[in-house]
Amino acid sequence: MPAFALARAAYKPDVQFVEVQILKLLSCTNLLAGTVEVVIYITSRDSRMTNHETVVGRANEADLDGILALQEANQMARGGLLSANLPRDRVAAMMQEMPLIVARRDGRITGFLMTTTRGMNADLPIVQAMFAAYHGTPDAYVYGPICVGEEERGKGLAQRMFAVLRDFEQRREGVLFIRKDNGPSLRAHLKMGMKEVACFPFNGFDFAVYSYIG
Ligand SMILES: CC(C)(COP(=O)(O)OP(=O)(O)OC[C@H]1O[C@@H](n2cnc3c(N)ncnc32)[C@H](O)[C@@H]1OP(=O)(O)O)[C@@H](O)C(=O)NCCC(=O)NCCS
């Protein structure tokens, strides 16, 4: 009578972890093919996979590809509204230094909210122009860019990512710029309670500087 092994993977918050464990188990049992019967019950796959639920949290290295893909899809050259196209190594470094918040849904990145220290992107001309227009407190950090996938907009995802960011950076000033013709972004950030504190022209566009205390 064949041996009987039962692997039951109940709910785990990290579905990839569950799947790796199952693959390991299957590769072990292959060695004993014909003698071991494995029945795997996955009683409850991660609810994010089955309920199409959006989960917001701090990004890690595994999110980099999804973040870069969303950034690429929203470049001005593609009709989007992102002013910067940050390279992979810079995004990876930013994520080490400051919280990078992401929204994940069905295994995809559907939103990101980046932050940097004042010094980290000080070489970017638009960041220089922002701080020339508004100095902020000495430990103020730079909020942005923020981006939500087109199909997910208008559902308050930007608000949710900001709420998570605030938990990480309490009582610290955040400073950001928004193109004055970007109505949805102006509305989203006013709803977050941010205030316009200055404005500056850059590359033929007018930008508003917004500030908030976390
Ligand atoms: C700006 C942005 C991050 C807001 O994210 P969001 O999760 O849609 O934000 P909210 O749900 O709070 O909605 C904000 C506003 O977007 C507008 N909006 C609503 N539905 C929308 C849709 N389907 N598509 C676009 N904008 C929509 C509304 O004006 C809404 O404000 P309102 O609810 O007071 O009417 C998102 O529009 C985006 O990624 N845009 C492209 C990149 C960009 O502009 N980044 C900001 C650079 S400063």
Q: Which of 85, 101, 150, 153 to mutate to test the pocket of ligand 1 (most atoms within 8 A of CB)?
A: 153
Q: Determine the atom of ligand 1 nearest the C-alpha atom of 156.
A: 11
- The structure's pTM equals 0.81
CA of 150 to the centre of ligand 1 (A): 9
Flag whether pLDDT at 86 surpasses 70.
yes
CATH H-level superfamily of 55-213? Gcn5-related N-acetyltransferase (GNAT) (3.40.630.30)
Q: Which helix (H) or strand (E) holds 176?
A: strand 173-179
Flag whether pLDDT at 123 surpasses 60.
yes
Q: Determine the atom of ligand 1 nearest the C-alpha atom of 150.
A: 24
- Kindly report, as residue ranges, where domains of CATH 3.40.630.30 are found in the chain: 55-213
pLDDT score recorded for residue 214 = 87
Flag whether pLDDT at 20 surpasses 90.
no
pLDDT score recorded for residue 50 = 54
171: its two tokens: 């009582």
pLDDT tens-digit series, residues 187-214: 999 999 999 999 999 999 999 999 999 8
pLDDT score recorded for residue 33 = 45
Q: Is the backbone peptide bond immediately before 125 cis, with ω within 30 degrees of 0?
A: no
pLDDT tens-digit series, residues 164-182: 999 999 999 999 999 999 9
3-state SS, residue 16: helix
Q: For residue 130, which amino acid is it?
A: M
